[in-house]
Structure 1
Amino acid sequence: MSNPRNAVSARDSHIWTLRVGFIMASALSAGLLVTIDNKQNDFNCHIPPDLSRGANIKPGELQAPNSYAFASNVWRSLNDWEHEGKVDYISNIKKYECYVTPTFFTWLKENAKQKEDAGELGRTRNLSMEDAYAEGMSTPMGNNVFAVTLTTRVHERIEALPIKDIIVRYPLRVVPDTRKCNAMGMSLDGFYAQPERTEVEHVQVEKK
């Protein structure tokens, strides 16, 4: 009688072990499914415009040409005052809040206040790029950060009167940005050096 009884006991023990194993495996599978479901399913991939030599692309990794194009578009948009800087500059800063870092956003608001106090916003402004993109205009600084140099011609007018026509080099820093409101995955983070004038043109105004 002992052998059949031991066999039944061993069978029941094995069945219990299988049940426990099944429960643990199910719990582990459920945990993995939840983890996978909570992981990010969408990735930003920055594709360089020139793929003639191929490219190794990692999700979230910025590219030099893309960083330059982004900095150029955002900086020109911030400084495009079609009607008057008193309205346009403030509006543009708010409009592009998600494409500059919080620190640079604070700087821009302070800069607008300083310009308003100095009487420098009662005018229109337009920035145009002086040079087409070339290698060296956007260089990596490490940690997926790029130093972008924009050489622009700044035109300013008060009504129909031209008051400024100068060339300014803006050294801007582009950093990764994962905020949900930022569809580009990068932001302007201010200047890595002081902007400088490279040429000054005296505007000639005809006297009537």
Structure 2
Amino acid sequence: MSRFRHALKNRDQHIFSLRMSCGVLVIILLIAVGGWITAPSRIVVYNPPDLRTGSSRPWWEVPAPTAYTFALYIFQQLNAWPKNGDVDYPAKIAALTPYLTPSCLIFLKADLRKRADSGELLNRVRMIYEVPGRGYNSKSVAIMNRDSWVIRLDAVVDEYFQSEPVKRALVRFPLKVVRWDGDAERNPFGLALDCYEGIPQRLEAATPSEDAKGKGMFQ
């Protein structure tokens, strides 16, 4: 009798171990199916702005217009101080941190301190926008490699102090953009601004009053 009892016990233990193995396999299968279903939602596909002629490229390739548009948007936001640069500039740096590389963040914080110490922020209003007629073209983006680009941005810099215009300058900014697949929740673009790839070059400059008289930079 004991032999039969041992045989039944061994059978039951074997059945239990098989059931546990099946349970583990089912859990693994569910995880795999879940990952397979949600994977397409985590893939970033970059499409060029104009799709009338179609587009065929590897999904990881970032089109040059996309890199240019990203650099313009982030840089424009960094330099948008609608009320008071002393408050707006640090707030913009904090808000755009997910779109900045660590080295660029250090550079901007140092620039913030320098401007604050020299009195260039208090009650200062600032805005940057593309020079009309000098938007994106084939020479606006230099592709360094698959993961980095240098953007040539020709922009107008307007500054006001307590509603009084103090500066209008036409500047060429050499901005660097890099692939940044870090935090997709906070940075869905998968790109980051790495600040400057050289010294910004002032092309022309004029005061807003001069520009209004037709003697400015668009002459």
TM over 0.5: yes
Partner residue, 1:193: 198
Pairing 1:119–2:124 present? no
> Deviation per CA, 1:40-95, whole angstroms, max 9, x where unpaired?
71200111012244322323321110111111111011001110110000000001
Aligned pairs for 1:1-208 (under 5 A) are 34=31, 37-38=34-35, 41=39, 42-122=42-122, 123-130=124-131, 131-178=134-181, 179-180=183-184, 181-202=186-207, 204=209
Please identify runs of 4+ aligned residues in structure 1 that moved more than 3 A.
26-40, 202-205
Alignment partners' CA distance in 2, 1:187 and 1:138? 15
TM-score, scaled relative to structure 2: 0.74
Q: Secondary structure at the match of 1:184?
A: coil
| Paired letter, 2:128 | L
Q: Secondary structure at the match of 1:172?
A: strand
**Contact 1:84/1:124 (<8 A) preserved:** yes
How far did residue 136 of structure 1 move?
A: 1.4
Q: Which runs of 5+ in 2 are unaligned?
A: 1-20, 211-219
Highest CA radius of gyration, 1 or 2?
1
Alignment partners' CA distance in 2, 1:93 and 1:48? 28
| Paired letter, 2:115 | K
Q: Secondary structure at the match of 2:139?
A: coil
TM-score, scaled relative to structure 1: 0.78
Q: Which runs of 5+ in 1 are unaligned?
A: 1-23
> Deviation per CA, 1:20-55, whole angstroms, max 9, x where unpaired?
xxxx9x999986775665577120011101224432
Alignment partners' CA distance in 2, 1:83 and 1:99? 23
Query: Aligned residue pairs: how many?
Result: 182
Q: Secondary structure at the match of 2:121?
A: coil
Q: Secondary structure at the match of 2:59?
A: coil
Q: State the identity as a percent.
A: 29
Q: Secondary structure at the match of 1:134?
A: coil
Alignment partners' CA distance in 1, 2:196 and 2:29? 44
Alignment partners' CA distance in 2, 1:52 and 1:119? 50
